[in-house]
Amino acid sequence: MPKLPFYQVDAFASRPFEGNQACVMPLEDFLPDAILQTIAAENNVAETAYLVRKSENTWALRWFTPAVEVPLCGHATLASAHVLFEEYSFKGEAVHFETVHSGSLIVRRLADGQLEMDFPCGPVQEIPVTDDVATALGARPVQAWGGMFYAARFETPEEVEALKPDQRALKDLGVPGEGWDRGNFGCFAAGGDGVDVTSRFFAPGSGIDEDPATGSWHTMLARVMSERFGKTDLKCRQAFPGRGAFIDTRLEDDRVKLIGTSVTVIEGSFTL
């Protein structure tokens, strides 16, 4: 029976049991989509990343949640680069990923050992807060934006950490971002213990009630924080109960740099 290489990585983490889990599976060629989706469902973590090498420093990259293929995933990209640098001993300065919906993504290894991702950052637009969204979130945001996702601002980090949304109601609300369904909500407040912004990310529209560490959300958060507070460099905390993550961001025109580390927690093979 065929065996596929398999790594489970805690991304945006300095030690096991922090950050967000991703499975990384380097392949010779992409398998049929139905099989890729079935494997991701079996893995049952936020994202499974599939890599196919195209040249010396370039890989094709795709991401699947247990339910759908997504157009962009930050933590699984970080995990993929981590596997190439640490487990496959890639010696280059930067890994290049070619993606279907998000173009070319570059991940560089910094002098301190952290990895820096270079991601696109789309425009955002302030939108009204509606009663159905406030009811589904269980609290009324003071401000909201539409873009890749729905971004909801609260006054204090404590309000964000206390949120207990109705996930079934949330799934059909929000904004349909480019390549994304409704039901993807980033909730944030300026400030927090030693950070510039504290957030959580609810994604029932992508098959995940709450994501522990979300790179794609932080590209939008970087834009929103720049427009609302004039900050282009951020220390961010994603306050997922029991795990959470710290992500540094830097907005540069229409790109965002996302900086973090990862830890391999499982290495083995997947048997088809």
Catalytic residues: 47
Please name which of 217, 212, 258 lies closest in space to residue 22, comparing C-alpha atoms. 212
Instruction: Quote the CA–CA distance of 76 and 147 in Å, as a whole number.
Output: 21
